[in-house]
């Protein structure tokens, strides 16, 4: 009988990075984890149409930086940055902090496991 190991935990630090990058104190860790969860749920719901592959949250002092890796970044930004400003305002009202959002493009969306799974799910729903 073999021991079961969490595949994400096994790969962290070797060929995978953390999705939240901040150093917690004993007082702020639970609230930061809760905020990270709220941010991820909000962005997944709001940006579902853009093929979001990964959401990375970084905290430094009072700054909060969110990096969204998506297949179609143009849909997130919108014309003249109107759509991304709406998302920023939504995040600001949700967590009551100043947020900066970076958008990165997935180079090969067909090779991304998360995007492939979402594509299969939408095809099955139709």
CA atoms of 22 and 72, how far apart (whole Å): 27
pLDDT score of 1: 65
**What pLDDT digit, counting tens, does each position of 5-63 carry?**
887 777 777 777 778 888 888 888 888 889 999 999 999 999 988 889 999 999 987 88
Mean pLDDT of 73-80: 89
Whether pTM > 0.85 for this model: the answer is no
Q: Domain ranges in the chain?
A: 17-125
CA atoms of 77 and 1, how far apart (whole Å): 50
Where is average pLDDT lowest: 5-9, 60-64, 93-97, 110-114? 5-9
Residue 77's alpha-carbon distances to 55, 74, 81, in angstroms, are 16, 5, 5
**17-125 CATH choice from 3.30.479.10, 3.30.300.20, 3.30.70.3000, 3.30.110.30:** 3.30.300.20
Strand, helix or coil at 56? strand
Under 8 Å between Cβ of 24 and 32: yes
Six-digit token pair at 12? 């962290």
């Amino acid at each position: 009988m073999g021991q079961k190991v969490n595949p994400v935990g096994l790969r962290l630090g070797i060929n995978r990075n953390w999705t939240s990058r901040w150093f917690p104190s004993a007082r702020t860790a639970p609230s930061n984890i809760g905020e990270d969860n709220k941010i991820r749920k909000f962005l997944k719901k709001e940006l579902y149409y853009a093929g979001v592959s990964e959401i990375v949250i970084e905290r430094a002092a009072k700054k909060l930086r969110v990096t969204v890796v998506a297949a179609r970044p143009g849909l997130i930004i919108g014309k003249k940055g109107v759509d991304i400003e709406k998302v920023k305002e939504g995040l600001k009202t949700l967590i009551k902090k100043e947020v900066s959002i970076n958008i990165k493009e997935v180079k090969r969306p067909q090779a991304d496991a998360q995007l492939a799974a979402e594509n299969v799910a939408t095809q099955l729903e139709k």
